[in-house]
Chains A and B, each alone.
Chain A
Amino acid sequence: MAPILEVHNLVKKYGDLVAVKGISFDVMEGEIFSLLGPNGAGKTTTISILSTLFSPTAGDASVDGHSVTSEPMAVKRLIGVVPQEIALYEELTALENLNFWGQMYGLSGKALAKRVDEVLEQIGLKNRAKERIKTYSGGMKRRVNIGVGLLHKPKLLFMDEPTVGIDPQSRRAILESVKELNDSGMTILYTTHYMEEAQELSDRVGIIDYGELIALGTQPELTSKVGETDTLILHLGENEDPSFLADELRVMEGVLQANPTDHQVAIVTPSAEELLAPVVSRTNELGIHIYSVDMREPNLEAVFLQLTGRALRD
């Protein structure tokens, strides 16, 4: 597979703030590549640069050989963008929105009408196409938001957190549609802070934090970075002190890391099953109330935890 997107040392600064710190990666034609990272990690800024919305402070990227800095119009014709926010006109109907955006992508006449019809079928809103967007549920709006990005059949589709703020059923439908798009041959760059989505969808994942790409590879490659370690997460009562408990547990045998966060302590261990009983016992001795316990086998969350010392949703 040849790379359709090549990113080289991309940097974006806003005054003193460095939002993207020299990241480089390739996206191969036909794959789903996820950028996984917490809010504020630089995912949206990266997509904004790759979609030619913002100029990079340094570095460059190319889509199918066209530079985003020197050939933005050529890049724009190749890409589709599904932004994080519902970028639609609420006072217009879904049909009017799709017609307008289709025309912005150069479609017209019968070709536009045909494509709008296909997209409405694809997003399952043909029956409600003549209703204004403001009357739609959050999930329906998301589907139209995605539909706009598909109108001109882009070679590369950027999807920036397309499932934020919607119900589980709509989320499931969107994930399925992403897979279908990919099956039809579309290359997708998907950003998310949901580890489960990245795990389910991606051929390869780039983990991004504070503007840096801290890990990149297939899921087996990434989880192998944390070795055969499990993660044990202790959820504490509201009045408990996770930092104090983490300090106490860190000295225990079998504990590789103990990282405190809001009302919880995440413990990295070779065997969560073996460590569970002694940890609970020690916590009880300290008079700390455990609300619940999660045991997790190696996954992207664990990779992020090990690389940053923080949980993905911090």
Chain B
Amino acid sequence: MQIKKLFLIAIKDLRLIFRDPSALVLMLLAPFVLTIGMGALTGRFSGGTGSGISNIPVILVNEDQGLLGDVLVEVFQSPELVELVAPELMDDLQRAKALVDADQSTAVIYIPEGFTDSIIPSAETSEQAVVRILFYANPTQPTSAGVVRSILDQFINRVELGNVSGQVIVQQLIENGLISPAQAGQVGQEISQEIAQMETSRSSITIQSTVSEGEGIEFDILAYMAPGMAIMFLMFTVTYGGRSLLVENYHGTLPRLLVAPTIPAYVLGGKAFGIFLTAVAQMAILIGGTSLMFRLEWGDTLGVILLILTAAFAATGWGLFFAAILKTPGQVAVTGSAVMLLFGILGGSFFDLSMLPDWIQVVNKITPNAWAVDGFRILSFGGGLDDILTNILALVIMGIVLFVVASFWMQKSGLARK
């Protein structure tokens, strides 16, 4: 009976939000308008199939003497990307950087010597030295730089996948006595090269790997930006929900709930579930709406559903946390707006995070935006459920920690406050 009250409180909150025009405007209309704006900006409504972003100038400096450096260059020169990027090969890294600094190019990708060996060690170089690809981006072209970065990330993910696969196969072969440990290096190299070539020769290096009937899916700027907008406005929704807890206290409905024969934990649970339901509804409407209106491909359905649920859960934790530590609805509203923007910036809702300093990319892990946006982009670029398990786990842990902290805080200060 008590658990039924929890659901009744949650449904009541959902109903209240959907009757509040101002909340609806900010939760549903604003992200839609922004998405439509982006669609118009990027040519989604011009009748063309392109993203509106094309011929992104990118400079490739390849000092690698191995297979993978060449493959990466080939990826950028591939027919699938011919309209999207305009790659230029160069030998001088400093000159290439200068062109980016002068706003004449979007980014430089520098493939250092030994890159291939660092991934697929040869018999001569049995130890894997760490060799990093340098990505040097133009901060004034965040969207285009983000596109280039995402192509690079896709390539690296595929190569790493091939490398790990090779190691696992060799390990299994040794354990089953099919090869001797002495043969491991040679066999591993051959397998890794096979897998790398197999991976890179497929359309997997193009933006989308999920291809139906051989029809290539082009890069979609909305698929890149829409998750960021959706998660940013999700933060607004949950702070609005957290604020409702204090508003109810102020208007006397929360004390009234607490003097009814209902266990206080169920009242808090009902409020939290209401915020969660609202957040899920908002995400579902936005994702469903953009899918229908713009034919936006969000990717693996199960992955999208799990990400919606976990992102809403983590964001709900933040909403409750603000409601617990702040004292008035006004404080939550102001803090919520500021946090919405801050988390949006930190979490990659506006531009590609790889252009920000490393420490920001560590700090932003406290935001649901970073994990969720990353997850949605992985899915929209062809990733599967396995690729976002870390994101889902991080969001679940974030939600649990925040819920526990908020509950403890509210218990300490009293759910209804004088």
List residues of A whose CB falls within 8 A of some B CB.
14, 45, 48, 51-54, 73, 76-77, 79, 81, 83-89, 91-92, 100-101, 103-106, 148
State in angstroms the CA–CA spacing of A52 and B416 once bound together: 11
B252 touches A87 (CB 8 A): yes
Indicate if B177 sits at the interface (CB-CB under 8 A): no
Chain A residue at smallest Cβ distance from B255: A53
**Closest Cβ neighbor of B260 among chain A residues:** A104
Known pairs A48-B255, A83-B255, A100-B8 / 11 extra A-B pairs, C-beta < 8 Å: A52-B259, A76-B262, A81-B256, A85-B251, A87-B252, A88-B253, A89-B253, A92-B15, A103-B4, A104-B260, A105-B261
With contacts A14-B418, A91-B20, A92-B16 taken as known, whether A104 is within 8 angstroms of B262 at the C-beta atoms is yes
Q: How far is the CB of B110 from chain A (nearest CB, A)?
A: 58
Q: Let me know if B5 and A54 touch, CB within 8 A.
A: no
- Say yes or no for B257: interface residue by CB 8 A criterion: yes
Judge if B132 is at the interface, Cβ distance under 8 Å. no
Inter-subunit contact B261/A106 (CB<8 Å):
yes
Whether A51 contacts B259 by the Cβ 8 Å rule is yes
B187 CB–A CB distance under 8 Å: no
Residues of B within 8 A of A106 (CB): 1, 261
Shortest CB distance A202–B (Å): 23
In the bound complex, residues from chain A placing their C-beta under 8 Å from that of B255 are 48, 53, 83, 87
14 A-B pairs whose Cβ atoms sit less than 8 Å apart in the complex: A51-B259, A53-B258, A73-B261, A76-B260, A83-B255, A83-B256, A85-B252, A87-B256, A91-B19, A92-B12, A92-B15, A92-B19, A101-B260, A103-B4
- Name the residue of chain A whose CB is nearest to the CB of B250: A85
**Cβ–Cβ contact B8 & A76, under 8 A:** no
A53–B256 Cα distance when bound, in Å, is: 9
Chain A residues with CB under 8 Å of B251's CB are 85-87
* Interchain CB contact under 8 A, A148 and B8: no
A216 to chain B, nearest CB (A): 25
In the assembled complex, how far is the CB of residue B212 from the closest CB belonging to chain A, in whole angstroms? Answer: 45
Check if A104 sits within 8 Å of B15, measured CB to CB. Answer: no
Q: Could you tell me the distance between the alpha carbons of A181 and B262 in the complex, rounded to whole angstroms?
A: 25
| B-chain residues with CB within 8 Å of residue A51 when the two chains form the complex | 259
Tell me the minimal C-beta distance from B18 to chain A in angstroms.
9
| Contact A104 B252, CB 8 Å, known A14-B418, A54-B418, A92-B16 | no
Do residues A105 and B260 form an inter-chain contact, with CB atoms below 8 A? yes
Task: Mark out the residues of chain B between 6 and 32 whose CB falls within 8 Å of any chain A CB in the assembled complex.
Answer: 8, 12, 15-16, 19-20
* Residues of A close to B414: CB separation below 8 A: 54
The 0/1 profile, CB within 8 Å of A marked 1, for residues 249-286 of chain B is 00111011111111100000000000000000000000
Cβ of A47 to closest chain B Cβ, rounded Å = 10
Q: Interface residue count for B (Cβ, 8 Å)?
A: 24
Residues in chain B near residue A52, CB distance under 8 A = 258-259
User: Ordered nearest first, which 10 A-B pairs have the shortest CB separation?
Assistant: A87-B252, A85-B252, A76-B261, A104-B260, A87-B256, A91-B19, A51-B259, A87-B253, A77-B261, A83-B252
Known: A53-B255, A76-B261. A104 touches B19 (CB 8 A): no
B252–A86 touching, CB < 8 Å: yes
Least Cβ distance of A245 to chain B in Å? 39
Contacts of A45 in B (CB 8 A): 418
CB closest chain-A residue, reference B12: A100
Complex CA distance for A125 and B203, rounded to whole angstroms = 68
A236: min CB distance to chain B, Å: 37
Q: How far is the CB of A234 from chain B (nearest CB, A)?
A: 38
Complex Cα distance, B254 from A53, in Å, reads: 10
Contact A103 B8 (CB under 8 A): yes
Taking CB atoms, residues of chain A closer than 8 Å to B258 are 52-53
Interface string of B217-261 (1 = CB under 8 A from A): 000000000000000000000000000000000011101111111
- Which of chain A's residues has its CB closest to B254's CB? A87
| Residues of chain B with a CB closer than 8 A to A79's CB | 259
Q: Taking the nearest CB of chain B, how far is it from the CB of A8, in angstroms?
A: 20
Q: Please, how many angstroms separate the alpha-carbon atoms of A48 and B8 in the complex?
A: 24
User: Which chain B positions have C-beta within 8 A of A91?
Assistant: 16, 19-20
Decide: B259 and A76 in contact? CB cutoff 8 A: yes
Q: Which residues of A contact B4 (CB under 8 A)?
A: 103
Q: Which residues of A contact B15 (CB under 8 A)?
A: 92
Query: With the chains together, A79 CA to B260 CA distance in Å?
Result: 9
Chain B residue with the shortest CB-CB distance to A103 = B8
A187–B169 alpha-carbon span in the complex (Å): 81
B residues in contact with A103, CB < 8 Å: 4-5, 8
Interface centre among A52, A100, A104 (most CB of B within 10 A): A104
Q: Which of B1, B16, B418 meets A89, CB within 8 Å? A: B16
A44 nearest in chain B by CB position: B418
- B259 in contact with A53 (CB, 8 Å): yes
Name the contact of B12 in the complex, choosing from A14, A73, A77, A89 (C-beta under 8 A).
A89
User: Taking CB as reference atom, which chain A residue is nearest B414?
Assistant: A54
Q: A84 vs B261: C-alpha distance in the bound complex, in angstroms? A: 20
The CA-CA distance from A87 to B20 in the complex, in Å, is: 18
Shortest Cβ gap from A116 to chain B (Å): 15
Q: How far is the CA of A100 from the CA of B267 in the complex (A)?
A: 13
- Which residues in A have their C-beta under 8 angstroms from that of B256? 81, 83, 87, 101, 148
A104 and B418 in contact, given A85-B252, A87-B252, A89-B16 (Cβ under 8 angstroms): no
Hey, which chain B residues are within 8 Å of A54, CB to CB? 414, 416, 418
Query: What are the residues of chain B within 8 A of A87 when measuring CB–CB?
Result: 251-253, 255-256
In angstroms, how far is the closest chain B Cβ from the Cβ of A77? 5
A81 to B262, CA, bound (A): 14
Most chain B CB neighbours (cut-off 10 Å) among A79, A100, A105, A148? A100
Residue of B nearest to A12 (CB): B418
User: A233–B253 Cα gap in the complex (Å)?
Assistant: 41
